[in-house]
A and B are shown apart, each in its own frame.
Chain A
């Protein structure tokens, strides 16, 4: 079966399903549908189709347990977050991640605590880089 190249992004509904699978660790169609909001009202066949496509695309793998297919994510959530941000930076911020961060800091309703956390993250990363170049 043809598999999609790994750099591709998930569609909105696929991301919705992957989020539930990341939360579950692994699960069947019914497990994923049960975690969706009640007003989502998605048919079982639709859920099965979405997970089968995710399987074809190589984002999850499936194994049979009795008559049920159990899906396990092959792509980790943080890997996908990085990929998604890279794509956003490339397509919307002219491939300059600093612009993306600047927009986030300027426009998103960040609290002082959020900004402190970001500063701590940046400082820790800079310190790690300094240690690596020093050694």
Chain B
């Protein structure tokens, strides 16, 4: 049972970093809205992907940040608990040392109580989490099976390298998905009689495949059973989905030499006719999703995004600067939540004060 403690520690750290990284991303996005990248959604998506990758490898990045910090500023604390101890020793926090130490060690005490089976409410909380994770796991499996059925019931129209373009009588919203080896674009068979519309929609779905959006969707959905309870997960996913579509629309218009007016007409025409058809919940990237309440707003944003052409010439400096800012910020956030590994001089001093307070209490009796 105690062998699970490091894993649980890592899980808690990952959740905190996920939340902190989203806060940092929100700040960067607010900055972006004041730069030349404001309407450059492909660049914003690239930034978000950098933030997410750094978040996913945050245990490694935290180690790098701590090592770099110790090398550059050996006496400067990096973790939140070390900073708090330093503040306490400087007299900036005025509570008894015993209480302060209890606060610092609260997470460890809660985990010890959990593994010792001493706190029934904690066990109940874990049971609720496990049930939630199970439900999410079942929904994930059902979605994967649903996408598999939709692909299986469709017919190969064309093959381009590792991509199968398929036509389906049962699907009304085009989507891109992937199997173990092949990628799939599934289009409603009714599009066969609308070649112009089909060309635009196909360009959109192939752009998703080129950008690796299906793999990102799978990564999010695989994480969901473990992260579903973390509000940051929902924030990240919604922001990512929105940027993914805006970016894809802009790239299609820029890359395929398709007029934005034609593309807008296609999007509007398609949504007018068939946005309410059956669609698996997850594990794919759909041309348009009308199942949620925010779809009308999302649709308006996509149309507005097409009226703004990104200025790629002026973003050469802004993008690397913001990428570095995000990577360093997320790494520092990950380092700051780490549990201190050894006894620093400050911690030894705090421990001495705690012992003195305890001795004083004993002497008073």
Binding site for B on A (CB under 8 A): 11-13, 42-43, 45-46, 49-50, 52-53, 56-57
Contacts and interface: CB of A to CB of B under 8 A. Distances in A.
A21 B169 CA distance: 21
B167 A49 contact: yes
Contacts of A12: 190
Interface in B156-201: 156-157, 167, 169, 189-190, 192-193, 195
B190 A49 contact: no
B192 to A, nearest CB: 5
Contacts of B100: none
A34 B230 CA distance: 61
Contacts of A52: 157
Nearest to A48: B192
Contacts of B192: 13, 46, 49-50, 53
Contact of B193 (A46, A53, A56, A57): A46
B129 interface: no
Nearest to A13: B193
B155 interface: yes
Residue of A46, A49, A56 contacting most chain B CB atoms (<10 Å): A49
Interface in B123-172: 155-157, 167, 169
Nearest to B167: A53
A43 B155 contact: no
A52 B190 CA distance: 14
Closest 3 CB pairs of A and B: A56-B155, A49-B192, A46-B192
Nearest to A40: B193
Contacts of A46: 192-193, 195
Contact of A11 (B156, B157, B169, B195): B169
A110 B155 CA distance: 41
Nearest to A55: B155
